[in-house]
Structure 1
Amino acid sequence: MKLLQLIRFKNLLLIALVQVLIKYAMFPAFGVNTTLTAFQFALLVISTLTIAAGGYIINDIYDVEADSINKPNKLIIGKHIPEDKAYTYYMAFTVIGVILGFYLSNLINRNTFFAIFVIIAALLYIYATFLQQIVLVGNIIISVLVGLSLVIVGIFELLPAINTQNQFIQSSMFEVVFDYAVFAFIISLAREIVKDIQDVDGDYKMQFKTLPIVLGKNRARYIAFGLTVFLILLLIYYLANYLYMRQVAVAYFIIAVIGPLVYISIKLFSAETKAQYKSISNLLKLVMLSGMLSMIVYLFILK
């Protein structure tokens, strides 16, 4: 059970859900050609999840001291799982993920795609050991990787299936996947900043150069607020230009995504306590989920 907590199994389930929605909800709704069989897609999902699990573990290994201050009740490494055993878990998950990525890339005759898995694993390690201590860089890297967990499905499913007859629809579909990845990136970046504000005490003691430590909690809060407002405006623009004729989609986004984001932006503008920032962080994760569940809507509006 502690291992499941260590690898953030709920976050992993969210990643898997989003990838499944892309393949089995979005792609069929648009009628695009895909590459992976069910077995090959399972390899992609498992590879992504195991590499992500390894990233969570190595991050916790290097965050033990800070976490002992920020969230002592949730500390696992050193308290429930020895550090050397955690390293073993990290290596096992990462190696399994990279090997599966290599195998999958060869199965579909796209050997160069293997580099994606190596780069993701390397970035997660570099983030944990170095980048998270650099102001905003660590936040951006993690948010990019969140977006990449969506884009990788488009890379493996759409690109190998492109031919002269379907190039337009395949490229257009990849753009839609990329739009969702941008949504995931922005909301993840806002959440990372909120989490840094929440963890400012432990990070300060560890001499991390996070945004709230360098600029102050209020300025960091305003940046997170600005990102949230920017995402709201971006979604309104997207609805007005691409989905305005689809009333079901418009209603879904307004009720399940834009509305909650407006509420979050209001709460961000007045947040002060650690409990308030924790609540905002959880709300941002829920909006991330509701945004991704919108892929199901396409099955109904494109019939």
Structure 2
Amino acid sequence: MNYLNLIRWKNLLMIAIVQLLIKYALLEPFGVQTSLDTLGITLLILATICIAAAGNIINDIFDVETDSVNKPDKLIVGKSISEKTAYNLFIIFNVIGVGIGFYLSHLVDRNAFFSLFVIISVLLYVYASYLKQTLLIGNIVISVLVALTLIIVGVFELLPSTTSINQQTQLTFFKIIFDYAVFAFIINLLREMTKDLEDINGDHKTGMNTLPIAIGSERATKVVFALSFIPLFVVGQYVVNSLYKNQITVLYFLIFIIAPLLYISIKLFSASTKKDFHHISNVLKFVMLFGMLSLLLYKFTLL
């Protein structure tokens, strides 16, 4: 179980589910021309979660000192698993992920796509070793990488199959994937900033320069509170402009996305303790999950 917790298996499962939903709930039902068969999408998912697992491992390796303060009961590297073993697993997962990415790029006859896997792998290492300590840049970079786990499906599935005849259709569905990626970026950015508020004590001890450390916990909370209205406004506009004809879909968004987002804004207004921020972080993960699961309803919105 320690190894599963090290690679953050729940997060990896969410990545796999989202990529499967894009393939089988968004693209396939509408007969969109795609490039990957069942084996191909399986390999893409495997490559993505291997690289993500490697990123989680290297993050834990560099966070040993911080985690010993912030969450000593959940410390894995140096306690349940040695640092040497963790480094070996980091290398193994990276080699497998990048190797599969190399194969997939040749499979769709787009050799340049291989660079995506290399860039993501390198950025995850740079994030863990350096960017995480910098003001906001680390938060933005990791949120971009989360968004890329969605976009990469569009890149491999749609771009190689695009012709002059189906170009408009491919572009329409790529835009839908991109919109979901933007949603994932915003929610994850809020969650990263909330986690910085939760982990301020350990981060301060290890010399990190997160937003709460730079401007103070109270001011940082107000910033996150103000930013929390962005996804609320964006999703609200989307429901009003695109989903109003389908009552089931509207109800889903109201209950599982808009209501929790409103709850988060209310909680942020008065949040001040580590427990408060941990709770808000978990609710944001809930919003992310149900936002992605809304792909199952997409066929109803296009009827």
TM-score bracket relative to the smaller structure: over 0.9
1:225 Cα deviation (Å)? 1.6
- Which residue pairs with 2:71 in the alignment? 71
Partner-residue secondary structure (3-state), 1:33:
coil
Could you list the structure 1 runs, at least 4 aligned residues long, displaced by more than 6 angstroms after superposition: none
- Which residue pairs with 2:161 in the alignment? 161
Q: Deviations over 1:114-152 (max 9, x none)?
A: 000000000000001110111000000010000000000
Q: Deviations over 1:53-84 (max 9, x none)?
A: 00000011011001000000000010011111
**Do 2:127 and 2:138's aligned partners in 1 also have CA atoms closer than 8 Å?**
yes
1:27 Cα deviation (Å)? 1.1
- Which residue pairs with 1:172 in the alignment? 172
Q: Kindly provide the amino acid, as one letter, of the partner of residue 166 in structure 1.
A: N
- Which residue pairs with 1:259 in the alignment? 259
TM-score of the superposition, structure 1-length normalised?
Answer: 0.98
1:302 Cα deviation (Å)? 4.0
- Which residue pairs with 2:110 in the alignment? 110
TM-score of the superposition, structure 2-length normalised?
Answer: 0.98
**Do 1:143 and 1:189's aligned partners in 2 also have CA atoms closer than 8 Å?**
yes
Q: Kindly provide the amino acid, as one letter, of the partner of residue 35 in structure 1.
A: S
Seq. identity, %: 55
1:301 Cα deviation (Å)? 4.3
How far, CA to CA, are the matches of 1:199 and 1:17 in structure 2?
A: 29
**Do 1:16 and 1:49's aligned partners in 2 also have CA atoms closer than 8 Å?**
yes
1:243 Cα deviation (Å)? 2.4
- Which residue pairs with 2:82 in the alignment? 82
Equivalent runs, 1:101-250 vs 2, <5 Å: 101-250=101-250
Q: Kindly provide the amino acid, as one letter, of the partner of residue 271 in structure 1.
A: A
**Do 1:248 and 1:301's aligned partners in 2 also have CA atoms closer than 8 Å?**
no
Q: Deviations over 1:148-206 (max 9, x none)?
A: 00000000001111111111111011001000000000000000000011000000000
Q: Kindly provide the amino acid, as one letter, of the partner of residue 162 in structure 2.
A: I
How far, CA to CA, are the matches of 1:25 and 1:224 in structure 2?
A: 33
Q: Which runs of 5+ in 1 are unaligned?
A: none
- Which residue pairs with 1:52 in the alignment? 52
Partner-residue secondary structure (3-state), 2:228:
helix
Q: Supply the RMSD in Å over aligned alpha carbons.
A: 1.0
- Which residue pairs with 1:12 in the alignment? 12
Q: How many pairs were matched up?
A: 303
